[in-house]
Every structure is written in C-alpha cells, then in structure tokens.
Amino acid sequence: GSGDGEDKVYNIATDTTFAPFEFQNAEGDYVGIDIELLAAIAEDQGFEYELNPLGFSAAVAALESNQTDAVIAGMSITDERKEKYDFSEPYYDSGVVMAISASNTEVTSYEDLEGKTVAVKVGTEGATFAESIKDQYGFELTYFEESPLMYEDVKTGNTAACFEDYPVMGYGISQGNGLKMVTDMEKGSSYGFAVMKGENTELLEMFDAGLANIRANGKYQEIIDKYIAAE
Ligand code: GLN
C-alpha cells in the first residue's frame, strides 16, 4: 500500500468460549456473533486484523498492557470501564442472570444462596453483580477463568449457582448445558468494542462506521438471526 495505515494489521483480542458471541466450531475455527460482526465491519471498512482469543480477563489485561489493539468479547459498556477504555456504539443488549443446575429444586431466589458457594467468571459484570449482593444474601464466591468451567461446576453441584450474561446463558441452556434460570434478569449493560482511552481512535471510528453500515444493509441482523432465534 501507499499510505502508512494501509499495511496495519490490528490485533483484536476476544474470549475463548462465550457462545454465541465467540466459540470454536467442530473444525476448530472461531465463529459467533462477535467474530462475524468484526469480519463484516473489517470488510466494510477495509481494515485487516488478526483475531487473538485469550479469554475475557486475559483479553482485558492484554489491552491494558498494549499487547492487543482492541477487545471484542461480549464486553459490557459500564461507567467504571468507560474511565479506562473507549467503547464503540453498543451493538447488543445484555444483563446478568443467575443460573442453577436443571435438577436443582431448592434454589428459587437469592435468599436460598445463604451459606452456599456461587461460581462467577473473573473480571465480568456477573462477578461484579454477585460481589455486590454476596454479603446481603450470605454466600461465598469461587472464580473461574472460562464460562464453560463455571457451568460445569454448577451442573455437578459443587457450586449452588452462577451469574452469567442473559443472552449467553439463554443460548447455553438451549444447547443443553444442563442449567436453568429461576430468577429475572438484572439490568445490565450493552456490549461494545473497546480500545484503550485515546488510543486506536481510527480503529474505533472504523468500527462505528462499519457497524452503522451493516445495520443499514441488513448484514447485522443476518448475523444475529444466524445465532439467536427470534423471540
Ligand atoms: N459481559 C460481561 C462483561 O463484560 C462478560 C464478558 C465475557 O465473559 N466475555 O463483563
């Protein structure tokens, strides 16, 4: 290319397993809403990137230590995070929900968690929510790096419940992860694409411009519908 920017290959970090936003298919390729949105936006805007699936807390740590340019990982746009990162326009609405084993008939509310241990994923909005209510309801927390490990721990009865994003838990239950939801969703934040504050501004602008274009031309909805059945 002729210009400076043209040869740039952005490094974009993501979670390892956070279906339906990012996960590996039977061939081991990364697929999901985040993966396809990013591909469609990059194509629309003509930028190149390398996908870097690290896990959620590792992706955020890589961003902070300048080892990646951006994060797309079903990452919630929270006020606290906005102090450190710049986010794109929101691209998907989320919220936090409690899930328990499908065979559990004892837990129907947060009150039933008293004296029990609850699973959360390091650095997530679900963990922050659980931390905010654990003293009130008298439960302990145990931390996992990956969502599937957390679900497995709840399914086997090691932990009484977990807190996870509603769209992710809803998808997981529909795929037979052995869990169920018995409480309403807590209000949560929408997902956004993140860069460090004041850095990679051109990438963030391209993401927003591409997102607007794929919303307008139907590609955005096509990607969502491929992974999430219309209600
Ligand atoms: N949406 C949640 C958050 O941003 C969880 C993200 C994830 O686990 N990939 O904290």
Topology, domain 4-92+189-227: D-Maltodextrin-Binding Protein; domain 2 (3.40.190)
Give the per-residue pLDDT at 1: 40
**Distance between Cα 48 and ligand 1 center (Å):** 25
Q: What is the pLDDT of residues 189-225, one digit of tens each?
A: 999 999 999 999 999 999 999 999 999 999 999 999 9
Give the per-residue pLDDT at 230: 66
Give the per-residue pLDDT at 228: 93
- Per the CB < 8 A criterion, the answer to whether 76 and 188 are in contact is yes
Give the per-residue pLDDT at 229: 79
Q: What is the pLDDT of residues 153-199, one digit of tens each?
A: 999 999 999 999 999 999 999 999 999 999 999 998 999 999 999 99
Going by C-alpha positions, the residue among 30, 198, 14, 177 that lies closest to residue 99 is 177
Q: Which two tokens stand for residue 209?
A: 């411009």
Q: Whose CA is nearest to atom 10 of ligand 1?
A: 124
- Tell me whether domains 4-92+189-227 and 95-187 share a fold: yes
**Distance between Cα 32 and ligand 1 center (Å):** 15
pLDDT at 151 over 80: yes
pLDDT at 2 over 50: no
Q: Check whether the bond before 20 is cis (ω within 30° of 0).
A: yes
Give the per-residue pLDDT at 7: 79
Average of per-residue pLDDT across 127-133? 98
Q: What is the pLDDT of residues 50-96, one digit of tens each?
A: 999 999 999 999 999 999 999 999 999 999 999 999 999 999 999 99
Out of 33, 72, 75, 88, mutate this one to test ligand 1's pocket (max ligand atoms within 8 Å of CB): namely 75
Domain boundaries defined on the chain: 4-92+189-227, 95-187
Say which CATH architecture domain 95-187 belongs to.
3-Layer(aba) Sandwich (3.40)
